[in-house]
Amino acid sequence: MTVDDSTLEKLDPIWEFAGEWAGPVLASVIAIIVGIIFSFLLRAAIRPWKKRLSQQALLVIRKGIVYGVSAIVIITVLQQFGFKFTALLGAAGIAGIAIGFAAQTSLSNMISGLFLIWEKPFQVGDVIIIEDTKGVVESIDLLSMTLRTLDNLSVRFPNETLVKSKLINITKHPIRRFDIYFGVAYRSDPDQVFAVLRRVATENRFVLDEPKPLISFTGFGESELKFKYGVWHEKDDWIPMRNAILTDLKKALEAEGIEIPYPHRVVVTGNSVAEGGG
C-alpha cells in the first residue's frame, strides 16, 4: 500500500505545526518537572529547621516556596510560547498607579504577617480571642489568618487587623486559672466558706496544687457576701475541670448549709416592714 503525493501534501501543515511547537512544548514540560523537583528540594532543605522555627513560620516559608517556584515556571512556559514580557512591562507603567493603590492593602497585610511571624503571639492550634471572636487558629498565611470558632465556623482575619487589634491567647501558657464569682447569705461565716473552698480545690483531681487557689472575700452585695474563687488547671483540662469544680462547689456549700441567696428587698410601707424576694 503506497501513499500518494496529495495525501502527503495534506499532512504537511500537521508536520509543520508539530515541528514548530514541539520545542516549546518539550521545554515547557522540562520546566514544569524541574520546578516540581526544585520545590521538593527546597521544602526538604528546611526540614532541619523544623524545631527552631515556629509552625506559622514554616507554613509561610512553604507557601512562599510554592508560590515563588510556580511563578518562575509560569513565566518560563509563557516565554517558550512567545509571550513578550517587554510589552507587559511597558503597559505596567500605565497601570502601575492603579495597581499600586489596589495593592496597598495586600502589602500592608504581608508586612503585618512578617511582624506576626517575628513576634509569635500565637501559633497554629492555639485558642485565641480577636474582636470578640473566640476559636482555634487553623492556618496562618502571608495575607491572613483563619480562625475556626468553637461552633465550627471559619473566620478569616487580615493580618493588618491582627496587628492593630487586641488579641488574647488563651492557650499560650501550659496552665490557666478559672475564676468563679459567687455570693453567700449574710448569716454565713466567711471562715467556714474559706475552709470549704480550700477543701473543694484539694479534692478536685483537675485542680493543681501549685499555684495555690485564689480565695478572696471581695465585698458586700445587696443580699450577699461576695467571693472570688480562682483555681489553676492544665490548659487541656478546661472543660472537664470547669464542670467538675462548679458541681463540687455547689454540693459542698449545700452540705455545709451555706446558702447561695437570691436577691432580697426590704419594703417599708407606713409603720409596717415587709421583706420579700425580687
Question: Domain count of the chain?
Answer: 3
Q: CATH code at 132?
A: 2.30.30.60
Question: In the structure grid, which three cell numbers stand for residue 180, read together?
Answer: 468563679
Let me know if residue 36 belongs to a domain.
yes
Question: In the structure grid, which three cell numbers stand for residue 190, read together?
Answer: 466567711
What is the total residue count of the chain? 278
Residues 37 and 68 reside in one and the same domain:
yes
Judge whether 211 and 254 are in contact, CB under 8 Å: no
Residue type, 98: A
Residues 137 and 235 reside in one and the same domain:
no
Report the alpha-carbon distance of residue 70 to residue 38 in Å, rounded. 11
Judge whether 128 and 137 are in contact, CB under 8 Å: yes
Q: Is the pTM of this model over 0.75?
A: no
Residues 34 and 111 reside in one and the same domain:
yes
Distance of CA 199 to the CA centre of its chain: 37
Residues 139 and 212 reside in one and the same domain:
no
Nearest to 30 by CA among 63, 77, 71: 77
Tell me the pLDDT tens digit for each residue of 118-135: 788 888 889 999 988 999
Helix (H, G, I), strand (E, B) or coil at 150: coil
- The confidence band for 99, taking pLDDT boundaries of 50, 70 and 90, is low
Let me know if residue 269 belongs to a domain.
no
Judge whether 184 and 256 are in contact, CB under 8 Å: no
Residues 35 and 95 reside in one and the same domain:
yes
What does the pLDDT read at residue 30?
A: 82
Q: Is the pLDDT of residue 93 over 60?
A: no
Tell me the pLDDT tens digit for each residue of 26-42: 777 887 888 788 777 87
Tell me the pLDDT tens digit for each residue of 50-70: 666 666 666 667 777 777 778
Report the alpha-carbon distance of residue 147 to residue 136 in Å, rounded. 6
Report the alpha-carbon distance of residue 85 to residue 13 in Å, rounded. 29
Nearest to 43 by CA among 6, 69, 77, 18: 69
245 phi/psi in degrees, rounded to 5: -70, -35
Let me know if residue 142 belongs to a domain.
yes
Let me know if residue 37 belongs to a domain.
yes
Residues 16 and 34 reside in one and the same domain:
yes
Residues 101 and 153 reside in one and the same domain:
no
Distance of CA 54 to the CA centre of its chain: 14
Residues 241 and 184 reside in one and the same domain:
yes
Domain membership of residue 247 as a residue range: 175-255
Contacts of 155 (CB under 8 A, 6+ apart): 133, 135, 146, 147, 148, 149
Report the alpha-carbon distance of residue 67 to residue 59 in Å, rounded. 12
Contacts of 239 (CB under 8 A, 6+ apart): none
Least confident segment among 30-34, 174-178, 229-233: 30-34
